[in-house]
Amino acid sequence: MYLDDAGAAPVLPQVAEALGRVPDGNPSSLHAEGRAARAALDAARDRLAAVLKASRTEITFTASGTEAVNLAILGAAHRLPAHATILTWAAEHQSVLAAARHLHAAGHAVTIGPTDHNAAVDLDAIKPGVGLISIGLANNEVGTIQPVAEAIERAHQVGALVHVDACAGPRWIDIPKGADLVSLSGHKLGAGQGGALYVRDGVRIDPQLHGGPQEWGHRAGREDVAAAVAIATAITVCDGQRAARSAAAATQSADLRSTLEDLDGRLTGGADRLPNYATATFATRRGEDMLLALDLAGVAASSGSACASGSLDPSHVLLTMGLSLDEALGSLRLTTGYTTTEAEVTHARAILTAVLARTPTHA
């Protein structure tokens, strides 16, 4: 059973079908194959723009969500006045925080704002002098939905640009209107590949890749038509199915959270969360032990901690939320998807109970 939709959503059948029709050829070429590729790229751009209620010139295709985030933050920051501050928050995705650290190292003024115990941002960090804010649509680790609409209003009141990292969430919830920059990730939408950045008309950003004039001068290099078709198809499907899928996911995740709580897990995330999230920490268990045991039992899940080079790093999100080191190392994230069934959730709950009952604890 696949309960890691937040890690990578399975490729939608509509996307797989659309990819089978992508023509060969370089969309910058003038021959017939090139013109067919250009037509497919233009159609994908129009479809994505329609979902975002934008114009085609406001859509830039990228290779990934991380690239879209970096293009938004670095590209916009390089156009700011020298005295302007870049603001983001401590529980944002690593792509956002890494871009902020890069800017700080280059001499820009950067503020990392605090979050509360649910990973919700503190909007009081938006003050005069801020030139750009970067806020997530929802926290990718615990699912807390951020007050994006209010953040946009407050930021614009002090003259700041707003980047919304919408890589996590648009599969399940709408993106509030009014942002200046919005980044998207294909693999979290069910596209399997690609990324995109909405850049509001009138907002100027510096490219991070230099070469030809592709993507309105925002991103040099041969356009990846297949990736563009994939992400445009995926977000169109999500836009049409979002309400029904979210209602079903909310019931499934509530059942999973109930089981996690019954097993002495401490639930994490706010009450206003993405509907498919069930997250908890277990102070007397290790995340990797639970993941491996669940994997052997046939359940794909994820944890807030990650094994790398033989060392276990605690989640920066959970530590920012005020959890102890042991709690941060014992996190579990279950996220349902579009194809998750009630029978699978019932089976997964039984497996969770059996597995966690025998997973070793630590002092």
Would you please indicate which residues are annotated as catalytic (active-site) residues?
A: 307
pLDDT of 308 reads 37
Residues of the chain with pLDDT under 70: 304-312, 359-363
In terms of residue numbers, what domain contains 267? Answer: 242-358
pLDDT of 314 reads 86
Instruction: Collapse the DSSP code of 145 into the 3-class scheme (helix H, G, I; strand E, B; otherwise coil) and give the result.
Output: strand
Q: How far apart are CA 255 and CA 336, in angstroms?
A: 11
For residue 1, being part of any structural domain is answered with no
Q: How far apart are CA 288 and CA 37, in angstroms?
A: 44
Q: Could you tell me if 125 and 263 lie in one domain?
A: no
pLDDT of 312 reads 62
pLDDT of 358 reads 74
Ramachandran region, residue 171 (left: φ > 0; alpha: ψ -120 to 50; beta: rest): alpha
For residue 3, being part of any structural domain is answered with no
pLDDT of 350 reads 97
Q: Could you tell me if 211 and 348 lie in one domain?
A: no
Count the Cβ atoms, other than its own, within 10 Å of residue 213: 11
Interhelix angle 225-262/342-358, rounded to 10 degrees, is 60
The CATH number of residue 144's host domain is 3.40.640.10
Picking from 208, 238, 268, the residue at the C-terminal end of a domain is: 238
Q: Could you tell me if 202 and 89 lie in one domain?
A: yes
Q: Could you tell me if 231 and 272 lie in one domain?
A: no
Query: Number of structural domains, the chain?
Result: 2
For residue 218, being part of any structural domain is answered with yes
pLDDT of 295 reads 96
Q: Could you tell me if 199 and 296 lie in one domain?
A: no
Strands across the sheet containing 331-335:
266-267, 277-281, 331-335
Q: Could you tell me if 219 and 259 lie in one domain?
A: no
Picking from 238, 259, 285, the residue at the C-terminal end of a domain is: 238
pTM for the whole thing?
0.95
pLDDT in tens, 181-239: 999 999 999 999 999 999 999 999 999 999 999 999 999 999 999 999 999 999 999 99
